[in-house]
Amino acid sequence: MKLAFIGGGNMASALIGGLIAKGMKPGAIAVAETVPAARRRLAAKFKVRASPAPDARTFAADTLVLAVKPQDMRAALVPLAGKLEGRLVVSVAAGIRLKDLSRWLGGHAKLVRCMPNTPALIGAGIAGLYAPAGVSAAERRRAERILTAVGKVVWVKDEALLDPVTAVSASGPAYVFWFIEQLAAAGAELGLPPVVAAQLALETVLGSARLAAQSKEPPAVLRERVTSRGGTTAAALQVFADQGLAERFRRAVAAASRRGAEMGEELGEKAGRD
C-alpha cells in the first residue's frame, strides 16, 4: 500500500506513527501539509516525505487519507478533483458527508468515511467506518488496516449511523473526562486532599474500564456485583435514579447525535455557497 495524507495534524500523526509501528515503511507514506512547522515535525519524527501541497507522490499513492479540518476540506480537495480514478479515499474528518466529498472530488466514488476518537493518539482508539456499495472488500480491509493502526474499528451499514457513533465514541472521551473531574471534586469536598481525590478518581475509572474490557459479563452485571443491598454504592445509585440521571445522560448523547447530523448539513451547504 502506498499512502498519501492530505493534512498532517494530530490524527494524521497518530495514524502515521501507528502504521510505521506495525511495519509500514516511511518511504511508502507521503503527507501534504500547509503548515511548515508541522511538515518539519512529521519529517523529523517519522522520516516521511512532507510537502506543502499535493504533488507527484500524492498521485502515486493508491490510498489517500483526508485529515484536514472539516471547514478546510473543500479547498483542500480542489487540487485532487477529477484526478483520483481508481484510488481509495479515506476521510477521518468529522461531519463531512460522502455526498459532499464525492462532489468536491469531481464525482469520485471510492470513499470510506471514518469517525475516530482522541484515544487514537495513544493507540487506544475506536473508529466507526462506513463505505458505500462501490467499495470492494479488499478496499474495506485497506481502510481497516489504516484505522486499526491506532485502535479498534466497527463498521456501520448506514452513513447516518456515524452521527450516533460520533455522539458515543468521538464525544465520549469528554464525558469520561467530565466524570473523572466530578468524582475527584466530590472526593475533595468530602475532605480528601485534591491530589489524592484526583488519583483515586482517575485510577478507579481506568481500572474499571480494564475490568469491563476483560470480563465476559456485561457492565450491568459488574455493577450489580459491586452494589450490596443497603450499602454505600446502593445509596449513591439511588440518588442517580431519583435524579433521573440515566435518562438525562441519554438525552445528552442524543443531542450530540442530532448536532452531528446538523453539522454535516451545515458544512456541506456552507462549502457549496463559497
- Domains of the chain and any CATH numbers: 3-162 (3.40.50.720), 172-255 (1.10.3730.10)
Determine contact, residues 93/68, Cβ cutoff 8 Å: yes
DSSP secondary structure letter of residue 84: -
Determine contact, residues 150/18, Cβ cutoff 8 Å: yes
The pLDDT score that the predictor gives to residue 271 is: 55
The length of the chain, given as a count of residues: 274
pLDDT in tens, 128-154: 999 999 999 999 999 999 999 999 999
Which of the pair, 156 or 1, is modelled with greater confidence? 156
The pLDDT score that the predictor gives to residue 268 is: 85
End-to-end CA distance of the chain: 35
The pLDDT score that the predictor gives to residue 114 is: 97
Which residue in 182, 203, 184, 204 sits closest to 195, CA to CA? 184
Determine contact, residues 57/51, Cβ cutoff 8 Å: yes
SS3 content of the chain, % helix, strand, coil (to 5): 60, 15, 25
Q: What percent of the chain has pLDDT over 70?
A: 98
Alpha carbon distance 199, 176 (integer Å): 15
Neighbours of 174 (CB within 10 A): 12
Indicate the pTM of the whole model: 0.91
The pLDDT score that the predictor gives to residue 77 is: 94
Q: What percent of the chain has pLDDT over 90?
A: 94
Alpha carbon distance 123, 19 (integer Å): 10
Whether the pLDDT of residue 239 is over 90: the answer is: yes
Q: What are phi and psi of 245, to 5 degrees?
A: -65, -40
- CA angle, residues 197, 202, 203, in degrees to nearest 5: 100
pLDDT in tens, 190-224: 999 999 999 999 999 999 999 999 999 999 999 99
Whether the pLDDT of residue 10 is over 70: the answer is: yes
Taking all residues of the chain, what is their mean pLDDT, rounded to a whole number? 95
